[in-house]
Chain A
Amino acid sequence: MIELKGINKTFRVAKRQAGFGRAVKALFSREYETVQALRDVSFCVADGEMVGYIGPNGAGKSTTIKIMCGVLTPDNGACLINGRTPWKDRVAHVREIGVVFGQRSQLWWDVPVIDSFELIRDIYRVDENEYKKNLDELTELLELGEILKTPARSLSLGQRMRCEIVASLLHNPKILFLDEPTIGLDAISKIAVRQFIKRLNEERGTTVLLTTHDMQDIEALTERIILVGKGQILLDGNLAELKTRATEGASAEEMVAELYREYEI
């Protein structure tokens, strides 16, 4: 169970000056501005639910995920995940979640994937038998097989992403956060990843929260979508609802584009 209530988050950033003269001036004084990354964000996700968290770049998607993972502390507001506040009870909390940052790898670049997995097993203190069972299952589901003996650097992006997801699931988390899991993948890999996430949710009842720019991910996976823009939640509903609002015959992509325009984000 994920519950967010009235989460606010601000960042202070230094302004970078363009131009030669300004650069000289910036030597002596620097201006800061406050950016409101999240404004009164509240939502609930029930156990076993799959939710798509969408919005344009810089809308606050990653910030929300980082707060839910215990990486960031919000300015105020409450967040309870399985009864814990992530940033207060970090170690106990992260044991029950899995995270995939689509743009960053957690695999060791130069050693076979299986070695990375074993290290992760030790980091999470996963029981040997459970690990074996889990790994066999995941490998079969994602058709990894031989890939496990290859160093991450020689894998294709699609293969690597599948390994990333497995790496985040080795400790059998109840909740999985996926930050742009299909970014840069080819069509076949995308479909494989989607099918896998779907089965994971159906068979293990894992709660999945994913951010993406690819509307086909949403269509294939989630009933429910949450739209954020400029740090605020603009819409929390399901795809069917959206379809009734949109122009007849519009694709998911077009519907979202319409939404973005409607909310001016």
Chain B
Amino acid sequence: MRLYMKFLSMHIKSQMQYKTSFVFTTLGQFFVAFATFLSINFLFDRFDYVGGFSYEEVLICFAVMMMAFSASELIGRGFDRFPAMLGNGSFDRALVRPRNVIFQVLASQMEFSRLGRFVQAVAVLVYAIPRSGIYWTWDKILTLTLMIVCGAFLFFGLYVLYAAFSFFTTEGLEFMNVLTDGGREHGRLPFGVYGDGVLKFLTYVVPLALVQYYPLLYLTGRTDNFLYALTPIAALLFLLPCYVFFRFGLRHYKSTGS
């Protein structure tokens, strides 16, 4: 942990060398999130409900996903940029150092401009929380926290999966965007509104719905079953195959080079 803080301060030092760039990219990131927010806003201009959810409830959904996503990007950027790390040889450098490889990849990149998105998500959440009609008891607060934290871990797992794939191919990784960027972008609406097929996929295959739709049902009082509030924890199981696959990819790398 101490070493991670050391890396953190190095990254901050580096990025502060380019303050204007940092400010502009952060603003840019803010805009990206804002466009999504605006499209929700415009649609609800003509509508009061989607799939039974109100504007404020959808906003909570949007904010939770955006927050989880940007938090995972902030810390997991090293895995997101992993193909580049393989390409420029800095992964070989990591391998000749006496530390855990996953830790080194994690520490190799931190992208603070993603705070632009995070801040926006916080603002939206702050706006929506009092207006959502939810009576905020401790269990609801716990549910919301679980959604965000476990959501961040789930997105992080997807990055690890993406990095693992890049051991085998440098092309064709774009399809992972459906899950990461797609999860964020389409996660602005509760996954239940996309129909049964999508919901099943996002429950059993890539459990994004476990950190979004099911706990949201509990949060908004559509169900009293407390198990729904705990589904985000189950989503963490997804990290296991991601990790195993990464280790597998690493073995492959060591035997094929490239």
- Do A and B touch (CB < 8 Å)? yes
Within 8 A of A (CB), among B1-51: 2-3, 6-7, 10, 13-14, 17-18
The answer to whether the Cβ of A196 comes within 8 Å of any Cβ in the partner chain is no
A side interface size, CB within 8 A:
37
Give chain A residues whose Cβ lies under 8 Å from the Cβ of B13: 110-111, 115
Contact B98 A91 (CB under 8 A): yes
Closest to B256 in A: A11
Residues of B within 8 A of A110 (CB): 13-14, 17-18
CB-CB < 8 A to A72: which residues of B? 254-255, 257
Q: Which of B7, B17, B89, B98 contacts A104 (CB 8 A)?
A: B89
Contacts known (A101-B89, A122-B3); A108 close to B10, Cβ less than 8 A: yes
Q: Are A73 and B89 in contact (CB under 8 A)?
A: no
Judge whether B222 is part of the interface by a CB distance below 8 angstroms.
no
Q: Which residues of A contact B93 (CB under 8 A)?
A: 99, 101, 104, 106
Q: A11-B256, A73-B255, A101-B89 are in contact. Are A94 and B96 (CB under 8 A)?
A: yes
**Inter-subunit contact B10/A111 (CB<8 Å):** yes
Q: Which residues of A contact B254 (CB under 8 A)?
A: 71-73, 87
Contact A119 B95, CB 8 Å, known A72-B254, A104-B88: no
Option from A9, A99, A109, A122 in Cβ contact (under 8 Å) with B14: A109
Query: Which of A45-53, A62-70, A253-261 touches B?
Result: A62-70
Q: Are B14 and A124 in contact (CB under 8 A)?
A: no
What residues of B have a CB within 8 angstroms of the CB of A106 in the complex? 93
- Judging by beta carbons under 8 Å apart, are B92 and A101 in contact? yes
A204 interface residue per 8 A CB criterion: no
Within 8 A of B (CB), among A23-81: 37, 63, 66, 69-73, 75
The answer to whether the Cβ of B258 comes within 8 Å of any Cβ in the partner chain is yes
Contacts of B95 in A (CB 8 A): 69-71, 90, 94
Inter-chain contact total with CB atoms closer than 8 Å: 77
B96 and A71 form a contact (CB under 8 A) = yes
Residue interface bits B218-258, CB-to-A below 8 A is 1, else 0: 00000000000000000000000000000000010011111
Contact of A66 among B7, B92, B98 (CB under 8 A): B92
Q: Which residues of chain A come closer than 8 Å to B258, judged between CB atoms?
A: 11
C-alpha spacing A67/B109, complex, angstroms: 26
- Measured CB to CB, the closest approach of chain B to A182, in angstroms, equals 19
**Size band of the B side of the interface?**
20 to 34
Closest Cβ–Cβ distance, residue A173 to chain B (whole Å): 10
Knowing A90-B95, A92-B98, A119-B10, the reply to whether A104 touches B90 (Cβ < 8 A) is yes
- Residue numbers in B under 8 Å from A151 (CB-CB): 17
Say yes or no: B14 contacts A91, CB within 8 Å.
no
Interface membership of A12, Cβ < 8 A: yes
A106 to B108, CA, bound (A): 12
Selected from A109, A111, A116, A123, the residue in CB contact (under 8 A) with B98 is A123
CB neighbors of A among B45-80 (8 A): none
Shortest Cβ gap from A95 to chain B (Å):
4
Q: Is A97 an interface residue (CB 8 A)?
A: yes
Contacts of A11 in B (CB 8 A): 256-258
B-facing mask of A88-129, CB < 8 A → 1, else 0?
A: 001110110101010110101111000110110011110000
Instruction: Specify the chain A residue showing the minimal Cβ separation from B103.
Output: A123
Beta-carbon nearest neighbor of A98 in chain B: B96
- Please, how many angstroms separate the alpha-carbon atoms of A63 and B92 in the complex? 12
Identify which of residues 78-92 in chain B touch chain A, using a CB-to-CB cut-off of 8 Å.
88-90, 92
B96-A108 in contact (CB<8A): no
Q: Which residues of A contact B14 (CB under 8 A)?
A: 108-111
Of residues 205 to 237 in A, which have CB atoms within 8 Å of B's CB atoms? none
A119 with B257: CB separation less than 8 A: no
Residue of B nearest to A125 (CB): B98
Q: Considering the chains assembled together, what is the distance between the CA atoms of A9 and B256 in angstroms? A: 9
> Beyond A111-B13, A115-B10, A119-B7, is A66–B257 a contact (Cβ under 8 Å)?
yes
Partner of A97, one of B2, B90, B96: B96
- Residue contacts A-B, CB under 8 angstroms, 10 given: A9-B257, A11-B258, A69-B92, A71-B96, A75-B255, A101-B93, A110-B13, A122-B6, A123-B97, A125-B98
**B interface residues (Cβ-Cβ under 8 A, vs A):** 2-3, 6-7, 10, 13-14, 17-18, 88-90, 92-93, 95-99, 251, 254-258
Residues of A near any B CB (own CB < 8 A): 9, 11-12, 37, 63, 66, 69-73, 75, 87, 90-92, 94-95, 97, 99, 101, 103-104, 106, 108-111, 115-116, 118-119, 122-125, 151
Besides A69-B95, A94-B95, 7 new A-B residue pairs in contact (Cβ under 8 A), listed by A number:
A11-B256, A91-B99, A94-B97, A94-B98, A104-B93, A109-B14, A110-B13
Shortest beta-carbon contacts, A-B, top 10:
A110-B14, A110-B17, A73-B254, A95-B98, A71-B95, A104-B89, A91-B98, A73-B255, A111-B13, A99-B96
